[in-house]
A and B are shown apart, each in its own frame.
Chain A
Amino acid sequence: MPPSITSLSDEARIALGTLGERAGGIFNAPSLRLGVTGLSRAGKTIFITSLVHNLIHGGRLPMFEAAWEGRLSKAYLQPQPDDAVPRFQYEDHIARLVTDRLWPASTRAISELRLVLEFESASGWGRLFSGGKLNLDIVDYPGEWLLDLPLLSQDYRSFSERAVALARSPARSDLSGAWLAQAGEIAAHADASEEKARALAGAFTSYLAACKADSRALSTLPPGRFLMPGDLEGSPALTFAPLPDLPDGRAPSGSFQAMMERRFESYKTAVVKPFFRDHIARLDRQIVLIDAMQAMNAGRDAVIDLERALGEVLECFRPGRANPITRLFAHRIDKVLVAATKADHLHHESHDRLEALVRRLVERAAQRIGASGAGFEVMAMAAVRATREARGESDGETLPLIVGTPLAGETITGQTFDGATKTAIFPGDLPTDPDSFFQQLESSSQASIPPINIVRFRPPRIETDDQGVKLSLPHIRLDRALQYLLGDRLE
């Protein structure tokens, strides 16, 4: 069994918090914490925005039974339960999305939102006993922070070894050169120096940032706060870096290595643990958003790195079936939905392949979740659909196309877009058999990905209907996702 990521006292605090929450739930409406999980740029903010918009405005959600049967009488935002956490700026995001037709900027800090669903149970007994209200608590946070969770089970030595091994791998060696050279000059047992520590942390951060750039799109880049520091920028807890080739034995006190070790530990206790305890360990349902297309776009290394990052991160969640007694003091995630986001970048004929690919990406986690008794499902989804489908001829072949307005600066076959013209695009064929595809990727570093060129599109123009009312955000399978995640709580 791998080392536990929480100590006994953490567990006690989590249990106490849960107990208080459940006690409150007796008198108030029950609440459900939906964990919107995903690495950075997977589309968490968009998902939350579109979910709230479609529920509040009664969007087209045919597969979401409670809404479609007319039992969902009302949905509205309410002040969230945790006063210390900023509010999710839903209004700003939706204005930017609908009016300016721009995607939200990347999330820089944590925020929370409470959506109240008023519904009537489908059965008479249910109407008698349930209050007909469900509080949906959703937390949005920078996806980079998820990368911290695996650190909880590591010490400084194993963290350094992993980071250095990754940095020396062929996929990254050209980016990590500057940092590794600088780190090589520092003797681990030499006296600690704040100046050197800051310079080294800076070099390490710029190496991580370079890995994250679009052309590489790598994912396994802990510690996450280095890329998205939030309010901790410049604090000692963020001024450390892994060291290569640590000498055996304990680090003498006052040495450079000892300083780094201490800071790594305080990073874990001051940054990672509170995040885990307050937000991750309290989830009831989870949706994992995965942007497989960006990785496919960037090439072999990005795909393998994405698989590794997802495997490590998903280890840290707690799936399982809760019984009425354990439910009182423990949250267990009893349903996990893995959503292959940005499905609107492909014609729906390719959605099966996308689903198969993502299913393969999370294979390890899926087995663990399945063994724990929690529900597991994969679907291709687009929280906001930016394209329409079409068919067109090219070189005598009829191709399934998608039509949208590509973002300015996106390129395909040498053509660069200005962000204003509608264009029909064929993004390429995804591999048919993900198993053999991954075998190929892992066996040789020269393995090539079939030609794929994903172009990012601007948000759609929201049509107005005959009465001049703005229609809700179009989506792909958001209703199915909602039905899976919330359907049983609204029956």
Chain B
Amino acid sequence: MTADHDPAKRSAADAPRAPRAFVPTDDEARQTARPETAPPRRPTVVSGAVALTEAEDDPFLREALELPPAAPRRRRRLTPGKILLSALGLLLSLAIGLWVDQLVRSLFDRLPWLGWTALGLAAIALIAFMLLLWREIRGLMRLARVAELRAEVDSAEVDGGGPVTAAEARRLSHQVSTFLGNRAQTARGRAALKALDGEIVDGPQLLAFAERELLATLDREARKLIVNAARRVSLVTAISPRASLDMLYVAWEALRLVRAMAILYGGRPGTFGLLRLFRDVIAHLAVTGTVAAGDSILQQAIGTGVAAKLSARLGEGVINGLMTARIGISAMDLCRPMPFKALRRPRVSEFFTDLSAFAAKNSGTKSAP
């Protein structure tokens, strides 16, 4: 290796040089990845050139600004506003009760059969209300359950106590599999997990296996959902006559996407559940947005550059489509019962290629007539 790098030697031997392969010295992989089984290296003093690790690269000197931002902790507490609302709500229900009671009484006074009808209608309304309430509560509880499962799986892997134990991993994967029990797409994964029950003795591997088996199909569908929503948004933005209309459409499409995502991953949010989930998705977007800034801002800049060449409207369409894709990915993060570990989280850039190709094709068809 040294002989061939020496220019003096090379010029001395003017014969044609034989082909051969080198490992580049700056190869990142060679520096860091050292096989576990390699024999221990001997302690030495290194004299001569030494590359001191810069303060920015030193893990203990780096400014904490680069620390991953903590997920916003949701604190549930009693605020005066909530007390006011619940008190007013109680008053309102008392008022409704009183009104129904008076109505039924006065109807009984006039004609007994009218009174009976009103009573029956009131009972039906009560039952329907109960059903609605039950669905909402169940939806909210399911959302909480997803978050709890994801947090548990996440902490099981990172915790300081070493890798997750097999028993713990089995319990978690079993819970995830039960949670996804109502999704037909996971049937094969659930069967595979069950068939291998107890055969994988390594905790982290079991969790990775469960993630691949249970969530790979769902992730694929989620991707499809995101792509379709992003395409629709970009198309509508490109052809809509007014900016306020696009914004409405984008918001509606985002809401629809979040709902579809929740249903896809086994959550069944009701109206309130969906609102809460949507709020969380936006909050999550704000947090992860700063982390992924390097990746996506660049992409968006390129997006505007490329798309501007197509047309200004189409450029806007691509941008709005990308935003929808980011909302979709954020919703994916929050609806998935396991964090992304074994499988890769889709990146905004993947949708960018798809969207710009789509926009280019559309501009072709649009400019033709």
- Do B48 and A389 touch across chains, with their CB atoms under 8 A apart? no
Residues on B with beta carbons closer than 8 Å to the beta carbon of A397 = 41
A247-298 residues with Cβ-Cβ distance < 8 A to B are none
How close is B344's CB to chain A, nearest CB, in angstroms?
24
B42 interface residue, CB < 8 Å from A? Answer: yes
For window 297-342 of A, CB contacts with B under 8 Å fall at none
Residue-wise, chain A 366-396 has the 8 Å CB interface mask toward B (1 for contact) of 0000000000111100000100111111101
Q: Which of A63, A385, A394, A423 has the most CB of B within 10 A?
A: A394
Q: What is the CA–CA distance of A437 and B50 in the complex, to the nearest angstrom?
A: 32
Tell me if A348 is interfacial: C-beta within 8 Å of chain B. Answer: yes
Count chain A residues whose beta carbon lies closer than 8 angstroms to a beta carbon of B. 46
Chain-A contact segment, one of B52-60, B194-202, B229-237: B52-60
Nearest-neighbor residue (CB-CB) of A406 within chain B: B45
Asked if residues A426 and B41 are in contact (CB atoms below 8 Å), the reply is yes
Nearest chain A CB to B43 CB, angstrom units: 4
Q: Is the CB of B64 within 8 A of A392?
A: no
A425 in contact with B52 (CB, 8 Å)? no
Asked if B52 and A388 sit within 8 Å, CB to CB, the answer is yes
Is B42 in contact with A388, judged by CB distance below 8 angstroms?
Answer: no
Partner of B53, one of A391, A399, A427: A391
Chain A minimum-CB-distance residue to B65: A62
Residues of chain A with a CB closer than 8 A to B50's CB: 390-392, 401, 403, 424
The verdict on A474 contacting chain B, using a C-beta distance below 8 Å, is yes
Q: Is A413 an interface residue (CB 8 A)?
A: yes
* Chain B residues near A388 (CB-CB < 8 A): 52-53, 58
Output the least CB separation between B105 and chain A (Å): 48
- Whether, in the assembled complex, A104 has its beta carbon less than 8 Å from a beta carbon of chain B, the answer is no
Contact of A413 among B44, B59, B64, B67 (CB under 8 A): B44
Verify if A178 is at the interface (C-beta below 8 Å from B).
no
A348 to B52, CA, bound (A): 14
Our pick among B40, B46, B75 for the contact of A393 (Cβ within 8 Å) is: B46
Min CB distance A266 to B, Å, is 44
What 0/1 readout, one digit per residue, does chain B (10-38) give for beta carbons within 8 Å of chain A? 00000000000000010000111000100
Q: A450 vs B40: C-alpha distance in the bound complex, in angstroms?
A: 6
Query: Chain A residue with minimal CB distance to B64?
Result: A62
Contact status A451-B43, CB under 8 Å: yes
Cα A68 to Cα B65 with chains together (Å): 11
Q: How far is the CB of B353 from chain A (nearest CB, A)?
A: 36
A416 to chain B, nearest CB (A): 11
Tell me whether A391 and B42 are in contact in the complex, defined as CB-CB below 8 angstroms, given that A63-B64, A359-B162, A385-B60 are known contacts.
no
Query: In the complex where A62-B67, A392-B51, A425-B45 touch, is A348 in contact with B40 (Cβ < 8 A)?
Result: no
What is the bound-complex CA distance between A403 and B160, given in angstroms? 28
Q: What residue of chain A has the Cβ atom nearest to residue B159's Cβ?
A: A377
Q: Which residue of B lies closest to A425 (CB)?
A: B45
Contacts of B60 in A (CB 8 A): 348, 385, 474-477
Q: Which of B25, B44, B51, B64 has the most CB of A within 10 A?
A: B44
A413, B40: Cβ atoms under 8 Å?
A: no
Provide the bound-state CA to CA distance between A392 and B161, in Å: 33
Q: How far is the CB of A349 from chain B (nearest CB, A)?
A: 8
Are A401 and B42 interface neighbours, CB within 8 A? no
The answer, yes or no, to whether B111 is at the interface (CB within 8 Å) is no
Which residue of B is nearest A359, CB measured? B162
Q: A391-B50, A403-B50 are contacts. A426–B43 as well, Cβ < 8 Å?
A: yes
Shortest distance in angstroms between B226's beta carbon and chain A's nearest beta carbon?
Answer: 35
Quick check: A428 and B45 within 8 Å, CB to CB? Answer: no
CA distance A475 to B59 in the complex (A): 11
Q: Which residues of A sit under 8 angstroms from B46, Cβ to Cβ?
A: 392-394, 399, 401, 424-426
Q: Which residues of B contact A392 (CB under 8 A)?
A: 46, 48-51
CA distance A392 to B53 in the complex (A): 10
B43 near A427: Cβ-Cβ < 8 Å: yes
Give chain B residues whose Cβ lies under 8 Å from the Cβ of A476: 60
Closest to B52 in A: A390
Residues of B within 8 A of A431 (CB): 40
Residues in chain A near residue B58, CB distance under 8 A: 388-389
Say yes or no: is B61 at the interface (Cβ < 8 Å to chain A): yes
A181 interface residue (CB < 8 Å to B): no
Residue of A nearest to B62 (CB): A62
Per the bound structure, the CA–CA distance linking A180 and B52 in Å amounts to 53
Q: State A475–B64 Cα separation when bound (angstroms).
A: 14
- Tell me, yes or no, whether A412 is within 8 Å of chain B by CB: yes
User: Chain B 63-92 against A: per-residue CB contact (8 Å), 1 yes, 0 no?
Assistant: 110010000000100000000000000000
| Closest partner residue, chain B, to A451 (CB atom) | B42
Distance in angstroms between the alpha carbons of A389 and B1 in the assembled complex: 28
5 A-B pairs closest in CB distance:
A62-B64, A450-B40, A453-B43, A429-B40, A392-B50
B interface residues, Cβ below 8 angstroms from A: 1, 25, 30-32, 36, 40-53, 58-61, 63-64, 67, 75, 160-162
**Extra contacts besides A390-B50, A390-B51, A413-B44 (5): CB < 8 Å:** A62-B63, A377-B161, A403-B52, A426-B46, A427-B43
**A contact residues vs B (CB 8 Å cutoff):** 60, 62-63, 68, 123, 348-349, 359, 376-379, 385, 388-394, 396-399, 401, 403, 412-413, 415, 423-429, 431-432, 450-453, 474-477
